Structure 1
Amino acid sequence: MDAGPVTLICRALLLDVDGTLVDSAEAVRSAWAAVAEELGADPDAVAAAALARRAPEVAEEFFAPEERQHALDASLRASVASAGLVRALPGAADLLAAVPDGAWGCVTSGRREILTARLRGAGLPVPEVLVTAEDVERGKPDPQPYLRGAELLGVEPADAVALEDTPEGVRSARAAGLRVVGVLGTHAADDLRAAGADALVDAPGGVRVRVADGVLELTVTAPRTASWS
């Protein structure tokens, strides 16, 4: 595939949050290590698992049944409290500023209160459309989250582009009918390609937006760290 810029035409942008718009790894580790220490689990093991799995899965793996709800409640409080450790990824603020209000939203597997806190902690706006774990019955890689996001934005899935950093997220968006730009950093380029990404970028700043008559023209700059050859 050509390694030069890729142009995608759409009417809306749907973005994952963790690993796509923000670097929240330090916040995740801090929050879950605190929960593990409180409940007598291995902080390093729990924190490492939390970087790759959803909160209920972490609770189920590391804590006894009678402790799991407490672990989830404690992780929610700790995650919100650690939001100041979250940093916007390069170019994220400029990308969001270039897209008109109502033409973008976020689709995430995380909990609403946490993701809202992380966006604010990173100095990024909280969109009107924010699809979180509470809003769907089936999370990524199921298409439901992105179908819901497109519905809330009032566009057909084929008229939207997703930004994702995980193969599960890419598969979710592709199954919903969206085109996908994969953001490197969390997973290998080959994994994002295999999941169906249409293009890759090093960071959100690799996507430039031009707006005309309600149409978004995305110019996607090929990453320096991986080619599309």
Structure 2
Amino acid sequence: MVGLGRLTDEVFEAVLFDMDGTLIDSTPAVLRAWTTWMEEFGLSRDQLGRHHGRPSAEVVRALLPPDQHVTATARINSLELDDVHDIVVLPGAVDALADLRDARSAIATSCNGPLAQARIAAAGLVPPSVLITVDDVARGKPAPDPFLEAARRLGVDPQRCLVVEDAPKGLEAAHAAGCFTLAVVTTTARTDLDADAVVGDLSEVAFVPVEDGIRVRLRA
């Protein structure tokens, strides 16, 4: 277990969580859906890999010509929504959200609204009251919009928020929003995660509400 560096000295106004790969493990379902999609549209897994953490519509636009965007986006949305099997809560996620039940927190995900709700329900996760999906913003990650919108709805300063992410694109979005960052090594190698601190998963940290905000600590 590693330290949390400068995060231990900060008091945050809110904690903003990514969802897939941070709070829940949807990897098998994601791989099944995208594998089917790639086969149907004649693409390789290597072409898809560098887009982890981006909204599906943006991935489609990056990989396919304009005349296929509408059809291909509808197809991946359908495949993902139809497959929410074996989605589970990641270690520490339940405790993290419970720690923050009486504090400000949100989920900011690259999923669309129906998919986010379906995966949350499939995992049995109790989400915070604020859920930002790609439907709520003009631009998805790696643009800062999801985290800025989450902060706006919570009534807090983005520069006083802690973002918890598993993907480089999500961390890029958090940096662009001016947030502090905590990364979990659930889908990406530690060396590829540019964050203020990196832990294995959420079971290694505790979020502690205090009078003027939230502190983050390593669990004993």
TM normalised by structure 1 equals 0.80
Q: Distance in 2 between matches of 1:62 and 1:11?
A: 38
Secondary structure of 2:126's aligned partner? coil
Within the alignment, does 1:12 sit opposite 2:14 as a pair?
yes
Q: Hey, what does 2:189 align to over in structure 1?
A: 188
- Return the letter of the residue paired with 1:84: H
Q: Distance in 1 between matches of 2:89 and 2:60?
A: 27
Distance 1:53 1:129, change over 3 A: closer
Q: Distance in 2 between matches of 1:29 and 1:204?
A: 23
- Return the letter of the residue paired with 2:159: A
8 A contact 1:28–1:51 mirrored in 2: no
Secondary structure of 2:11's aligned partner? strand
8 A contact 1:55–1:72 mirrored in 2: yes
Find runs of 4+ consecutive structure 1 residues off by over 6 angstroms.
none
8 A contact 2:12–2:214 mirrored in 1: yes
Within the alignment, does 1:88 sit opposite 2:86 as a pair?
no
- Return the letter of the residue paired with 1:202: G
> Mean Cα displacement is larger for which, 47-56 or 3-12?
47-56
Q: Distance in 2 between matches of 1:116 and 1:102?
A: 22
- Return the letter of the residue paired with 1:41: G
The alpha carbon displacement at 1:112 in A equals 1.6
Provide structure 1 residue ranges, at least 5 long, that are not aligned to the other structure.
Answer: 223-229
Q: Hey, what does 2:196 align to over in structure 1?
A: 198
8 A contact 1:12–1:103 mirrored in 2: yes
Within the alignment, does 1:31 sit opposite 2:22 as a pair?
no
Q: Hey, what does 1:215 align to over in structure 2?
A: 213
8 A contact 2:16–2:161 mirrored in 1: yes
Secondary structure of 2:174's aligned partner? helix
Distance 1:157 1:49, change over 3 A: closer
The alpha carbon displacement at 1:166 in A equals 1.7
TM normalised by structure 2 equals 0.83
Q: Distance in 1 between matches of 2:89 and 2:28?
A: 13
Q: Hey, what does 1:106 align to over in structure 2?
A: 107
Q: Distance in 2 between matches of 1:49 and 1:191?
A: 12
Kindly provide the CA deviation profile for residues 9-67 of structure 1, in whole angstroms up to 9, marking residues without a partner as x.
Answer: 21211011111111111111222334455x46368678767756542244346656554
8 A contact 1:32–1:50 mirrored in 2: no
> Mean Cα displacement is larger for which, 143-152 or 54-63?
54-63
Distance 1:211 1:62, change over 3 A: closer
Q: Distance in 2 between matches of 1:65 and 1:136?
A: 22
Within the alignment, does 1:132 sit opposite 2:133 as a pair?
yes
8 A contact 1:33–1:46 mirrored in 2: no
The alpha carbon displacement at 1:92 in A equals 0.7
Q: Distance in 2 between matches of 1:5 and 1:57?
A: 33
Distance 1:138 1:23, change over 3 A: same
Distance 1:62 1:93, change over 3 A: same
